[in-house]
Amino acid sequence: MNNISLSAFTEMYKNLLEEELKKNVETLGAPTNLKDSMLYSLNAGGKRIRPLLLFATIHAYGKDPLKGLLPATAIEMIHTYSLIHDDLPSMDDDDLRRGLPTNHKVYGEATAILAGDALLTYSFQLMTNMTEQNIPAEIIITTISLLAEAAGAEGMVGGQVADIEGENKVLNQRELEQIHLHKTGKLLEVSITIGAILAGATSTEIKTLKQFAYHLGLAFQIRDDILDLEGDEAIIGKPVGSDMDNDKSTYPKILTMDGAKRELDVHIKQAKDHLAGLHLDSALLEAITDLIADRNN
C-alpha cells in the first residue's frame, strides 16, 4: 500500500468516491428531476483532484484514506455546485463543460440553480455523517467550519465575485493571484487541511501543508490559462481561446506564454520544496503536483 502508484491509487479511490457521490444523491427523498440534475453534473467526470488531494494527504501520514471519504465527497459536491452556478447565463454563460452540455442547457436555469443549492446544502449534511465513523465531534465541527470558510464569501464565492468584477479590466499579477487564491485555491487548500486534521497532523505541519497548497493552487490556475490557449479542444472539452475572447486577464496575457510557463515551474518547485520539508510519505502528493503541472485537461 505504501508504494502504490498514483494511477492505482486514483483508480481505487476515484471509484469509491464516485460510488459515494451517486449513492448519496440517489437515495434522497426529493423530486426526480432535481436528483437527475444533481447526478448529471456529479457524473460528468472530472479529475476529482480535491478528493485525491484529501486522500493522498491522509495516506502521507500512513493512515487509511477512507477516513476522509465523507469530507472528500462533500468537497466534490461543493466543487460541482460551483461549476453549475459559474456556467449559468448570468455568469460565464457556458454551453459546454467537459465536452457535455452544461447543467442549465439540459435542465433549465431554475433547476440548475436549485441543484447547485441542494449540492451545497447536502455537503454539510454529509460532513455531519462523520459521527458514524467515530471521528471525535470537536474535530468534525472544526472541519465543517473550515469547509464553510473556504467555500463561502471569504473563499470560493468571494473569488467568483472578484473574478466577475475583474472581467474587462486589466489586472496585474498580484490582483490575478488574489482572485485565483480564493476562487480555486481555498477549496484545494481545505482538501489538504481536512485530510491533515483527520490524519492527526500537528499545527506546524498544517502550516507547511498550506504553503504547499498555496503554490499548488497557483500552479493549477496557471496551467489552466496555458491550456486555454494551447490545449486540444477535444481534450479540454471547451473551445480553445475562450478566455482570450472574453477579454479576461490570464497569466499568458500578463507574463507572455514563456513567462507563464516559467512561473508555473517556480510554483511547482516551491510546492515540492515545502512538501519535502515535512518528511512524510508524500510520493503521492508529489505525483499529484506533477500531474497538475503536466495535465492536458
Member of 10, 57, 103, 111 binding a copy of itself (CB under 8 A)? 111
Is the CB of residue 218 less than 8 Å from the CB of residue 181? yes
Determine how many CB atoms are found less than 10 A away from the CB of residue 222: 28
Query: Cell for 258?
Result: 514563456
Does 131 help bind a copy of itself (rule: CB under 8 A)? Answer: yes
Stretch of 109-117, 222-230, 241-249, 263-271 lying at the interface with a copy of itself (CB under 8 A): 109-117
CA distance 120 to 22: 15
Stretch of 3-11, 56-64, 87-95, 289-297 lying at the interface with a copy of itself (CB under 8 A): 87-95
For residue 51, the minimal CB distance to a copy of itself (Å) is 19
Stretch of 9-17, 152-160, 207-215, 231-239 lying at the interface with a copy of itself (CB under 8 A): 152-160
Member of 60, 70, 75, 113 binding a copy of itself (CB under 8 A)? 113
Does 145 help bind a copy of itself (rule: CB under 8 A)? Answer: yes
Q: Residue 177 or residue 263: which is nearer to a copy of itself going by CB? A: 177
Treating both helix axes as pointing N-terminal to C-terminal, what angle do 173-180 and 203-230 enclose, rounded to 10 degrees? 110
CA distance 171 to 249: 6
Give the DSSP letter of residue 129: G
For residue 36, the minimal CB distance to a copy of itself (Å) is 11
Question: Which residues between 38 and 57 bind a copy of itself (CB under 8 A)?
Answer: 38
* Terminal alpha carbon distance of the chain: 28
For residue 117, the minimal CB distance to a copy of itself (Å) is 5
Helix/strand/coil for 63: coil
Question: Which residues between 6 and 35 bind a copy of itself (CB under 8 A)?
Answer: 25, 28-31, 33-35
For residue 87, the minimal CB distance to a copy of itself (Å) is 12
Is the CB of residue 180 less than 8 Å from the CB of residue 263? no
The residue count for binding a copy of itself (CB under 8 A) is 53
Stretch of 51-59, 127-135, 205-213, 247-255 lying at the interface with a copy of itself (CB under 8 A): 127-135
Is the CB of residue 123 less than 8 Å from the CB of residue 75? yes
CA distance 188 to 216: 8
Residues 254-273 as b or e (16 or more Cβ within 10 Å = b): bbeeeebbebbeebbebbbe
CA distance 211 to 214: 5
Member of 8, 153, 170, 276 binding a copy of itself (CB under 8 A)? 153
Q: Is 107 left (phi over 0), alpha (psi -120 to 50) or beta?
A: alpha
E runs forming strands in 62-121: 96-97, 100-101
Member of 116, 185, 195, 252 binding a copy of itself (CB under 8 A)? 116
Query: Cell for 42?
Result: 456529479
Stretch of 53-61, 126-134, 186-194, 213-221 lying at the interface with a copy of itself (CB under 8 A): 126-134
Does 158 help bind a copy of itself (rule: CB under 8 A)? Answer: yes
Residue ranges in contact with a copy of itself by CB under 8 A: 25, 28-31, 33-35, 38, 81, 85, 88, 90-91, 108-111, 113-114, 116-118, 120-122, 124-125, 127-129, 131, 136-138, 140-142, 144-145, 148-149, 151-154, 157-158, 160-162, 164-165
